[in-house]
């Protein structure tokens, strides 16, 4: 079992550009951040949504386990129940 999340490795960080709502300058926000300060005007710039490691981390599936990862990603939909020939559920 891992004692440290592999996603905390700074070599795996990603950057995205966001427009400052005050002055229009481009602001870099890294994948482990929720906000950054605009270098031009000092305004705080926020990501559209709070990041989750399951959205950006390549190791999220490994950390969470397949079942939990599927549940959080929304891909774990309930399977239809099989029915007996007489119409009753098994």
For the stretch 11-35, pLDDT in tens is 777 889 999 999 999 999 988 788 8
Q: What is the mean pLDDT of the chain?
A: 76
Within a domain: residue 68?
yes
Residue 48 forms part of a structural domain? yes
Distance CA 86, CA 27 (A): 63
Q: Could you tell me if residue 55 is inside a domain?
A: yes
Total domains, the chain: 1
**What is the secondary structure of 6-48 as a DSSP string?**
GGG-GGG--EEEEE-TTT--EEEEETT-SEEE-TTT--EEE-S
pLDDT of residue 88: 53
pLDDT of 68-79, one tens digit each? 888 877 654 444
Confidence of residue 7 (pLDDT cuts 50, 70, 90): low
- Mean pLDDT of the region 23-49: 89
Does any domain span residue 4?
no
Decide if 83 is inside a domain: no
Q: Which domain holds residue 27?
A: 13-73
Portion of the chain with pLDDT greater than 70, in percent: 67
The reply to whether 53 falls in a domain is: yes
Cα dihedral value 63, 64, 66, 70, nearest 10: -130
Question: Does any domain span residue 85?
Answer: no
């Amino acid at each position: 079992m891992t004692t440290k999340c592999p996603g905390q490795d700074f070599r795996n960080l990603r950057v995205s550009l966001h427009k400052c709502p005050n002055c229009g300058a481009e602001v870099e926000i890294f994948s482990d951040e929720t906000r950054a300060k605009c270098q031009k005007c000092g305004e705080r710039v926020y990501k559209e949504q709070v990041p989750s490691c399951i959205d950006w981390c390549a190791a999220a599936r490994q950390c969470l386990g397949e079942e939990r990862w599927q549940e959080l990603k929304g891909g774990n939909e309930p399977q239809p129940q099989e029915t007996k020939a007489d119409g009753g559920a098994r």
